[in-house]
A and B are shown apart, each in its own frame.
Chain A
Amino acid sequence: MGAIVTAEGLCKSFAKRGSAGPPVLDGLDLELEEGSVLALLGPNGAGKTTTVRILATLLRPDAGRATVAGFDVVRDARRVREIISLTGQQVAVDARQTGAENLTMMGHLAHLPRRVVGDRVAELLTAFDLADAASRRVDTYSGGMRRRLDLAAGLLTRPRIMFLDEPTTGLDPRSRQALWDVVRDVVEQGTSVFLTTQYLEEADRLAERVALVDGGRVAAEGTPAQLKRQVGEAGVELTLPSPSDAVRLAPALAAATVDGARVRVPTDGSVAHVRSVLTTVEAMGVTPEHWEMRTPTLDDVFLTLTGHVGRARTARAAEVAA
């Protein structure tokens, strides 16, 4: 299958007090394969939301072009709107309407045939585990429920392409997991998903391909495995009582590197391998003061691929990605 979303050389800057501001997008290229998930991964301010807004016809690029299902997002904006759905960073549902009322409204606005609106709404409420809360006002919903309703509102028309702009920001781990399940279901039913996220883990779990954005352009693109390989593998890191212990231990472990009193052993993360590493350490008669599993974090990705730590990096992003 071919590309369903393409962007070539997208540029965008926002005017600041009359003069053109610094570029938010600076020649961004990307492609989304039909039927797959592409994650745009990057810190705040990298240009993720601007990219989504251009692709979803909300913003015109200053330069470059983008197509969705072959339609130009500027010239054929109306055609594009008929086949996409956008779930923005903010939850766009009315707090003073019930879940069912919100979806029914969106069904009418999406111009579904009148007689199917009711059935489709009921179907989605059940699918998103909101059937029991359907006749409750949204201001009684939890954050996770609101997000699910918001997603459901984007699926009324069975869009060919779904844009999700940081869909799990601010969700607790359980709600995040539930949302990932939903996205997988949607993809299984044939929808292509364009996702932005600050979380490496999210990109890893959901996306076939990840595009790393930095400073308004794609710094690296590939499968999650490819990217992580570029960043470096996961490793078991052992902190020993002294550097001499480290030097003594290292030769017994495959591909181990020494840094002072620390020994780092690359691992595939499997229980078997980690156990064999720890068994070897024990057999050598060395007692580490401390040991831990180190996996690539968003910081590592940025450091390795862009040579600097992501701008406006939040502690939360690092913590979740770790």
Chain B
Amino acid sequence: MTYLLRDVSTMTVRGLRLVSRDVDAMITAVLLPVVILLMFVLVFGGALDVGTDYINYVTPGVILLAAGFGAANTALAVEHDMSSGMVERLRSMPVTAWTVLSGHVVASLAKNLATTAIVFGVSILMGFRPEASALEWLAAVGMILLFVGWITWLAALVGVLVRSPDAAGGFSFIVMFLPYVSSAFVPVDTLPGWMRGFAEHQPVTPVIETVRGLLAGDVATAADPGGAAALAVAWCLGLGVTFAVAAGLAFRARR
């Protein structure tokens, strides 16, 4: 137990180093959301009527999309550790080997924090005008990190289970579609009925609504106990804990 904290902090330092030095992935992680933001706002934005400036509407969605993409790198990183002999070596040492996963998750959170800041910056340059107070900003970022947390634990689980980098890469393809079928880019009531059912009951929608509400300075929506925020937090914590435990168990089971 005394060593657990030390193992976790050692692995976190490692995770941060690996992420911050992967220049290719870093460039993609920043460029991709910026390009998507430009495309949605400049190309589709003019044709979409969402009742407010489209950039105010779409910014949270782009950030979550980027989170999904960033998490896919965690799947790759974990897969690499599993297949490159690193995990093998750790397992022959008296360390709590699954802490290797927590290192990657913390690194993913830090990276997403950075890309989130950049997307907000670009978005504000393009005319995004949030009306959030400092506290609401903090809450919005906290919500985004909770979302990044569960999706990264899912990525870690995928990384443990798959047997090739290609399979780990395929993960990003799937998670990138989640925000599209939600209220991230268009209001859900514009979707066909069967799709609306999914969109309204998947975790991305309440998270988007919460972040959007907070950034618009609309605390009432966020604070409503039965509202989007409570639902979003429940989704993220529930999925986060589930996938963290599953990843830990899968890690221990895989030989």
Contact = CB atoms under 8 A, between A and B. Distances in A.
A92 B13 contact: no
A153 interface: yes
A97 B18 contact: yes
B10 A153 contact: no
Contacts of B14: 94, 97, 105
Given A88-B85, A94-B14, A58 B6 contact: no
A111 interface: yes
Interface in B77-109: 84-86, 88-95
B3 interface: yes
A96 B18 contact: yes
B224 interface: no
Interface in B1-45: 3, 6-7, 10, 13-14, 17-18, 21-22
Nearest to B14: A105
A78 interface: yes
Nearest to A57: B92
A89 B92 contact: no
Specify the main secondary structure of chain B where it touches its partner. Answer: helix
A313 interface: no
Interface stretch (A79-87, A190-198, A210-218, A273-281): A79-87
B10 A105 contact: yes
B93 A81 contact: yes
B83 to A, nearest CB: 8
B13 A81 contact: no
A203 interface: no
Interface residues of B, number: 22
B251 to A, nearest CB: 13
A137 interface: yes
A59 interface: yes
B92 A58 contact: yes
Nearest to B9: A108
Contact of B88 (A78, A85, A86, A137): A86
B94 A81 contact: yes
B92 A56 contact: yes
A126 interface: no
A interface residue count range (under 10 / 10 to 19 / 20 to 34 / 35 or more): 20 to 34
B86 A59 contact: no
A74 interface: no
A92 B93 contact: no
A112 to B, nearest CB: 11
A85 B84 contact: no
B193 to A, nearest CB: 43
A59 B95 contact: no
B109 to A, nearest CB: 19
A81 B92 CA distance: 6
A110 interface: yes
A82 B88 contact: no
B92 A91 contact: no
A178 B10 CA distance: 31
A110 B93 contact: yes
5 contacts: A57-B92, A81-B94, A84-B92, A94-B86, A101-B17
The 3 nearest A-B residue pairs measured at CB:
A90-B85, A92-B85, A86-B92
Interface of B: 3, 6-7, 10, 13-14, 17-18, 21-22, 84-86, 88-95, 255
Given A86-B88, A109-B7, 14 more contacts: A85-B93, A86-B89, A87-B89, A88-B85, A88-B88, A90-B88, A91-B85, A92-B86, A94-B18, A96-B22, A97-B21, A105-B10, A108-B6, A108-B10
